[in-house]
Amino acid sequence: GGKDAINTTIINFNNEKMQITWATRELLPNENVSFFYTFGEGKHKVWKPCTTYLLYQDYNSGCLFKTEGPTLAISIRNSNGSEELFSKNLKADFYIKPSRPENVTFFWKEDTVTVSCNKPLRAAWCLRLELQYKSKFDKEWQSRTSKCCSVGEQGFDPRKCYSFRVRLKRLVPYCNVVKYSSDWEAETFWMNGTLLDSCDDDITPQSKTVIVLSCSLAVLLMMFILLILLCKWQRVQMSVLPAIPDPKYPFADLFNDHNGNLQEWLDKNDHVVLQTKLEYEEPESITEAESQQEDEKNSDKHGPLEKIFTFSGAAENNDQKAAEIACLIPASNTTASFAGFHILMNDDMYVML
């Protein structure tokens, strides 16, 4: 217990605005507190009540107010301000948290990069510029620090994309009693002196062209393979499942001339087929007949060795049985005639009608 038992956090934002926070809930769990401050010196201080409180679980936990001088006195009191619970005098300049660096520029020369920013108007010697960078192959940031407001580093690989970020730091203990640094400036991405939107865009135009050509060749190769497979599949399909011909084309006259009447088509085509067959066989028959006549002439010269049976004559005789026997058992070296054809027969042959 005592006036120094309350923990406080003091931040002077770029010497423009003060933020004081405290932890009184452990000492006064059910009581709210009030806050007063002054930048005046001497015995006759003019205390100002806090007008902008920071709340935590509906209780006052901090105060925001304008920075009005290098020295500051604060007082934490009970809810009505009649009893002082904590008080402290401090140098406001020792709690400065700098703002982000302004107008950050990058200068590239071969494998060396130099980063600079605008110099603050006040106490620039108390500030250090910190540069952090990493490539997409690095897991942790690399850090370099230099006087405000320029820092350089070398050894950058022009084939890699790097992420950069910078901030300002306040020197301790010469200028600050707390290690306060500014927030990081927006992260930027660079590759060989070229600013990129992100390290995902570090593909060069040449590599893009190579990728496009590779994709095109792959597509053409796939199309060629598909055509080969399609041709082979058609051959296999034709060999395994041959196409059934459409009867409409070989029998066009059946459907066009006879309207599908099969009997009428057969009657007509039987006459045509018979006539065609006779025309085809007539020269051969004539040749065979001439050959038979020459054989008969030769046989007449040697003697009556052959006996001629005429089927038509056998059919005209009344003795049908004799005709059948004559047909079934022809004599040796007998010539049989039927429908204008002469057939030379021997003992090993028979004729069926």
Which pLDDT band holds residue 224 (cuts at 50, 70, 90)? confident
pLDDT digits over 192-207, tens only?
A: 888 998 888 555 555 6
pLDDT digits over 42-88, tens only?
A: 777 889 999 999 998 888 999 999 999 899 999 999 888 888 888 89
Which pLDDT band holds residue 16 (cuts at 50, 70, 90)? very high
Question: How far, CA to CA in Å, does 129 sit from each of 20, 72, 169?
Answer: 26, 28, 6
pLDDT recorded at residue 314 = 40
The 3-class SS string of the chain reads CCCCCCEEEEEEECCCEEEEEEECCCCCCCCCEEEEEECCCCCCCCCEECCCEEEECCEEEEEEEECCCCEEEEEEEECCCCCEEEEEEEEHHHHEECCCCCCCEEEEECCEEEEECCCCCCCHHHEEEEEEEEECCCCCCEEEEEECCEEEEECCCCCCCEEEEEEEEECCCCCCCCCCECCCCCCEEEECCEEECCHHHCCCHHHHHHHHHHHHHHHHHHHHHHHHHHHHHHHHHHHHCCCCCCCCCCCHHHHHCCCCCHHHHHHHHHHHHHHHHHHHHHHHHHHHHHHHHHHHHHHHHHCCCCCEEEHHHHHHCCCHHHHHHHHHCCCCCEEEEECCEEEEECCCCCCCC
CA 330, 335, 338, 343 torsion-angle sign: positive
| Average pLDDT over every residue of 254-273 | 68
| Mean per-residue pLDDT of the chain | 77
The 3-class SS string of 100-163 reads CCCCCEEEEECCEEEEECCCCCCCHHHEEEEEEEEECCCCCCEEEEEECCEEEEECCCCCCCEE
Lowest mean pLDDT segment, chosen from 11-20, 59-68, 342-351: 342-351
Which pLDDT band holds residue 28 (cuts at 50, 70, 90)? confident
CA 258, 259, 261, 265 torsion-angle sign: positive
Does pLDDT of 168 surpass 90? yes
Which pLDDT band holds residue 1 (cuts at 50, 70, 90)? very low
Go through the domains of the chain in sequence order and give each one's CATH number.
Answer: 8-97 (2.60.40.10), 105-196 (2.60.40.10)
Lowest mean pLDDT segment, chosen from 66-75, 221-230, 236-245: 236-245
Torsions phi, psi of 237, nearest 5? -65, -40
Does pLDDT of 141 surpass 90? yes
pLDDT digits over 101-140, tens only?
A: 999 999 999 889 999 999 988 889 999 999 999 998 888 9
pLDDT recorded at residue 178 = 92
Integer Cα distance of 4 and 229 in angstroms: 88
Contacts of 197 by beta carbon, 8 Å cutoff, 6+ apart = 189
Lowest mean pLDDT segment, chosen from 212-216, 224-228, 241-245, 342-346: 342-346
pLDDT recorded at residue 309 = 39
pLDDT recorded at residue 318 = 47
pLDDT recorded at residue 143 = 93
pTM exceeds 0.75, yes or no: no
Does pLDDT of 271 surpass 70? no
How far is C-alpha 295 from the chain's CA centre? 91
pLDDT recorded at residue 229 = 83
- Give which of 205, 41, 173, 185 is closest to 101, Cα–Cα: 185
Given a contact cutoff of 8 angstroms between Cβ atoms, the answer to whether 175 and 123 are in contact is yes
pLDDT recorded at residue 305 = 37
Most confident of 23-37, 120-134, 328-342: 120-134
Integer Cα distance of 15 and 71 in angstroms: 11
Torsions phi, psi of 134, nearest 5? -165, 150
How far is C-alpha 154 from the chain's CA centre? 39
Does pLDDT of 348 surpass 90? no
pLDDT recorded at residue 310 = 42
